[in-house]
Structure 1
Amino acid sequence: MKIATYNVNGINGRLDNLLRWMDEAEPDVVCLQELKAPNDKFPRREIERAGYGAIWNGQKSWNGVAILARGSAPLETRRGLPGDPEDIQSRYIEAAVDGVLIGCLYLPNGNPRPGPKFDYKLAWFKRLSDYAAELLELEVPVVIAGDFNVMPDEMDVYNPERWVDDALFHPDVRRAFGDLVGQGWTDALRTVHPDERIYTFWKYLRNAYARDAGLRIDHFLLSPGLAERLSDAGVDKAVRGWEHASDHAPTWMILND
C-alpha cells in the first residue's frame, strides 16, 4: 500500500501536475493540502477520471485538505479537528481506506512570531496531540499525514541557525512535535532515512530548489502496529522541478500487507 502526501499549493492551478504525478507514481492513497478552493470548486470529475475516489474539506483561497483513494471511495470518519467548535479553518480530514485510518492535515504556519498566528499554531498542535492520543487508544492502524509546518531536527533544515526564531523551527513547535511523536508514533521518513538530509519543500525565492536549500516539513506518523509494516519511504523531488510546480514535492511511504 503506497500512501503519499502532497501540498499542491492550489489544486486547480496545478491540476495537470498532480494528475501527471499520480499517473507516474501510482499511489494507492493521496493526502492533499492547500487546495485553496471552496468545496464546489474541487475537481472531482478529473480526479475520478484518473481512477480515484475522493473526499475533501475545502476553503476559498486558503487551506483545504483532501484524501484520494485509487479505485475506491474513502470512507470519511472525521471532518475538522476536535477541540474548538469555533475553528472553521479547513485543516483536517480523516477516512478509512483498506483497513487503515488516515488523517490528513495542514498544520498552521504560525508566522509571524510572536503573535496570534503563532498562538493559534500551538493551540492547534495541542488539539492534534490530544486527538492523536485518542486514536492510539483505538489500537487500529492509523496514519497521520500531511504538511506539519515543522522541521523536527537540525538535519531537516538547510541552514538551521537562520530559522531559530521562525514559527516552523521554534523550540516550542519542535517540542510540540516531539511530544506528539513521543506518544508512540513513528516518523516514517526519518525511520527509513535516519542519517540523510532529505527535504520536502523548497521556497520559490533565491533559487532554493536548484541549491537544494530545502526543509522537511511534510511527515507521516504511524501507529505502533502499522509501523511494523513500513518497508520504504521517500520524496519525489524531481516533481518540484516541473514547470509551474508547487513549492512542495510529493512524499510517500510503502506499507507491506
Structure 2
Amino acid sequence: MKIYFDIHTHTTASGHAFSTFKENLEEAAAKGLTAYGMSDHAPAMPGSAPEIYFNNFKCIRREVMGVQVYTGVEANIMDYQGNLDLNDSILKKMDYVIASLHVPCLKSGNAKENTDALIGAMKNPYVKIIGHPDDGRYPLEYERLICAAHEYKVALEVNNSSFVARSGRQNAAENVAEWLAVAKTYRLPVILGSDAHIYYDVGDVSESIKALERAVYPEELVLNARKDGIEYVLNGRG
C-alpha cells in the first residue's frame, strides 16, 4: 500500500520528542511523501509548547522541499465530557486537530466514561481525528465509538507507535483488530499515523498496514492511500 501523507508527528516542541521540524520534513521528502503534518502536543502535556507556539504557524510555508506542509495539534482530552486543552479560537487556526487520551492529562475511567470523553471531543467541530483509540489502559465501547465517528465524520487512527512494545500502550494489537472489525461494517474511513517522536519514524506506518491487511480492511477507506484523502480531516471540510 502506497502512503501519500503522514500528519501525526512530533517535533522537539512537544518536549519529549527528539527531532526538529526541518529534520522531520527532510525525512518526509526522502520517503516520497507528498504531504507532511506537524501535530505537537497541546500545552496540558507536561513539557509541551505554550499556546503562543500554536498561534504562530502563519510563518511556515505551505510547501517546502516539494512537500505540502500542514500544521495541526494533538490536543489532550481533559475530562469525560471531551473538553480539550486549547480553546476554539486557537483550534480554528489549525489545519487539523487530533484529539487523544493521555495518561498525564486524564485518569482512565470505565469504558463508558472513556468512550464518552472521545465522543465529546468528536462533537467539537475542529476535531477531525481521534488518536490511538487502542490503549488498553483506556477501555472503550468500540461499537458506540464507531457509530459516533460515522455520525460526526471523524477518522479513527491506526497508530503505528501503538504496536511498539516500548510505547507503553497495552493490548494495542488486539484492540485495533477489534475496532477495525466493527469499523469495516460501517465502512468508516481510517487514517494511519506514525506518531513519530524522532525523524526516522516519519512516514513509517508499516505495522499499521499489517493490521489493516490482517483485518482485510478496504484500501479505499484508508485516507493516506489516496492523494485527496487528507481533505477528509482538514478544517473547513464540508
Considering Cα pairs closer than 8 Å and 6+ residues apart, tell me whether 1 or 2 has the greater RCO. 2
Question: Which protein is richer in strand relative to its size?
Answer: 1
| TM-score relative to the length of structure 2 | 0.42
Question: Which protein is richer in helix relative to its size?
Answer: 2
| TM-score relative to the length of structure 1 | 0.40
